[in-house]
Structure 1
Amino acid sequence: MKKVSVIGATGYAGAELLRILHNHPEAQVVHITSESHAGEYIDDLYPHLRGIYNQKLISMKEMDKIGKDSDFVFICLPHGHAMKVGKALENMPTRIIDLGADYRFDDTDIYEAWYKVEHTHKEAPRVYGLAELYRDQVKDAKIIGNAGCYTTASILALAPLAKNKLIDVSTIVVDAKSGVSGAGRGAKLPNHFPELYDSFKAYGVATHRHTPEIEQALADLSGESTVLNFTPHLVPMSRGILSTCYATLKAGVTPEQVDKAYEDMYGKEFFIRLLGRNGYPATKNVRGSNYCELGWHIDPRTNRVIVLSVIDNLVKGAAGQAVQNFNIACGFEEKLGLDVVPMYP
């Protein structure tokens, strides 16, 4: 049994993490924190946790106690805040899984350029936590930078093509749509019901911070410098991401080679569902689960491959992937606590 704590437990990702950890047979939640709700009970803030968690939220000021009591700390804070936790725990055996962006980048200059925040823990030993691609590095990592939601859907969609050098990585376009829970729980005018309902819009065009994260992983896989266009959209639903990824196939690449690349990379992956060539994934089919569904199409007119990828942004895109990384790091079966049927409808 591993003792775990959740830093920032009152956001959507933190609450989802608590939901998943409750059903994990090898995880005991010992501390949960919130700066804005310290002293309150979690089930007063999230009534769906009544009778499941009745713990009182504490402040991060008690980090020394949290670190001493915990084998793992999950950080569910906005970017710029996890580094303080990382530094506070660097001399303790406590391991960290950060659901934010602070430990996702090999090059902290890229982080600073896109996030406009100084990286104060540049020397931290960290690995990128996209489980299907980096599980060997995750096993022994002190700090795991959990992959982002848009990035998980998009990287998993393109990884077989990049790794097998089937596409021109300079031609990649990612067009992704997310449910509003991806914007967090805080009140924001654009997410107000009358503003959001019955509408569909793009945002962060050419500036979204997940862009360099996708580029980093695809460059690592392909061995080639990668620059791409990424455009996110907001959909009036609570959960889910659909990422549509486009790239030009290299000369002579056949549809059968594309099919084989996906089967070779993901055919034995429990959390990846391959719908095959001409498949159409749907967000409803993975809702509430840690699955990613993939389907791909080849357009002979333009010689482009179009890959469709769906995940639940709060599970495979956040809390579920964090638990998957936790399982890998502990040597547990990777699907432990995550082997659930998606909610439908």
Structure 2
Amino acid sequence: MRVLAAGDHFVRPDLIDAALCDALSPDLSADLEVRELTLPWPHEPFGPVGGVEEASGTEEHLIEMLEGAEICVTQMAPLTAKVFAASPDLRMVAVSRGGPVNVDLSAAARHGVAVSFAPGRNAPAAAEFAIAMMLAAMRRVPSSDQALRNGIWQGYLYAYDAAGTELAGATVGLVGYGAIGRIVARVLRAFGAHVLIHDPYTDPEAARADGVEPVELDTLLRRCAVVSLHARLTAETRHLIDADRLALLPEGAVLVNTARGGLLDYTPLPDLLRTGRLGALALDVYDIEPPPTDWPLHATPNVITTPHLAGASRQTAHRAASITAAEVARYLRGEKLAHPAVPEPVQDPRA
């Protein structure tokens, strides 16, 4: 059985191959012929390809590499309707990311292809990064570092009106309480913060058992000195934090977005920061990636920006490969997938 390990320069093909060896029994692994493909991301940005989002590489090259393959393990390959139509042997796709946005799921279902994904693969990395962004924004770490490099000693930041704030004793709001949000909440509580969460898909009693307080979104925004976004981007959540909701934040609040750029309306942010209505903004994601050189927030005070790095840890790459390899093993054993994206039953491919 032929497998295409369509990796990239993060979740590399050799990591996928090694994870398959670890996940499969000797008899199953002996039957596999693994072909490797290295896609150009992140050395070249991902983007829309053939009707799917956040993909890397071309449909034509993928079709060529999928010839005779029954299984494709990938993070970024563009699994489009065209690719499925041209790959009649393909029976299973394992996507090593939190959502299979690079897969046309309707086309997969039409062609009888099982699709799995890897929820939580970057949760520890993204949670740690979000906490780091909060601390950096609240204590002005990047701006004071840059000032010192430019020969400016900002001793005045010890003045009461200029001093930063602490997470200990702060009320912090998390918009979204999935795998990442739960880790962030646990760390915040260890700092001594009171944590509010808003997530309509979370059981309120389960959230309270975690030691957090579930509230409506507008209540969270009014009460929190720090707000961090952890929701998935959907039609329902696009511009969830718009101008009206930004106006609900307390004066001087800190806003962190390490989730998806489309959750936030960026237009009102420069004025809110210049006037001090918003105390600081920390962004790892943007409405346009990368943001243009004339982007207004580049010249706005109290803004921290990083290039979509929250999930970029080596452990994330290994977890991604391991989760998808485990799904391949389940498929080959004729078992149900743990994380199916296409709800068709999966038949034993050897039957």
TM-score w.r.t. length of structure 1: 0.35
Larger radius of gyration: 2
